[in-house]
Every structure is written in C-alpha cells, then in structure tokens.
Amino acid sequence: MDTIFTLLMVLIMIASVLLVIVVMAQNPKGGGLSSTFGGASSAQFGVQRTNDFMEKATWTLGGVIIVLIILSVVITGKPSQAAPTAQPVKKEAPAQSTAPASTTTPAPTK
C-alpha cells in the first residue's frame, strides 16, 4: 500500500513539473514555441499545430494530475476514516508559575 502511494506521489510530481514546463514554454500572446516555426507555413509541425499541441498537453497533464490525486485519496482512504473521533476539549486548571521553588524555610517569628 505504501509503495503504491509513493508511486502515485512520484507520478504526480513528474506530471506537475511537466505541466510547469509546458505552461512556461507558451507565450501569453500566442507566440511561444510556435514563433520559431512562423516562417514555415507548409511545415508539418507549424504554428497552428504547435499551439494545438501545447494546449492539449496542458489540459492532458492537468487531467492526469487530478486523476492521480483522486486515485491516491481512494487508495489511502478518506481523511474522516483515518482521523480519531472528536472529543470535547477539557479545560485544565491554570498552569502554576514556573519560578523555582524556594529551598529555604522561613524563620519562626516570636
């Protein structure tokens, strides 16, 4: 059970890093990797195909991360099952001073 959970966590981390790389490779104004292929309109991997690939990769990796997270929750169990039952909090007496106790005894008064 622990090895499956560890494997899922590693896969989630790999998918997350790949998602960050794909998102960072995109240009917010539509350039990104496709600007490299802008002059070759007849290229097999042209501008439109690059944008389509980047968008599909983004959505696919996002979906993979969501599915892996749901799988990890299903495998490990619901958090409410693992948590102990809630018990009312008992109020304790106020803590005594932390000053060291005096070791000398007072002298008797006359």
pLDDT reported for residue 17: 95
Domain limits of the chain? 48-73
pLDDT of residue 34: 52
pTM: 0.54
**Token pair listed for 82:** 């693992």
- Yes or no: say if 52 and 30 are a contact pair by the CB < 8 Å rule: no
Give the Cβ contact number of residue 47 at 10 Å. 20
Q: Could you tell me which residues come within 8 angstroms of residue 89 by beta carbon, excluding any fewer than 6 positions away? A: none
Query: Shortest CA distance to 21 belongs to which of 30, 9, 31, 32?
Result: 32
State percent of the chain over pLDDT 90: 31
**Within the chain, which residues score under 70 in pLDDT?**
1, 28-49, 78-91, 93-106, 110
| pLDDT at 20 (0 to 100) | 94
> Which residues, in sequence order, are CB contacts of 62 under 8 Å at separation 6+?
19
Rounded to whole angstroms, the Cα distance separating 21 from 23 reads 6
Residue 19, pLDDT score: 94
**What per-residue confidence (pLDDT) applies to 77?**
78
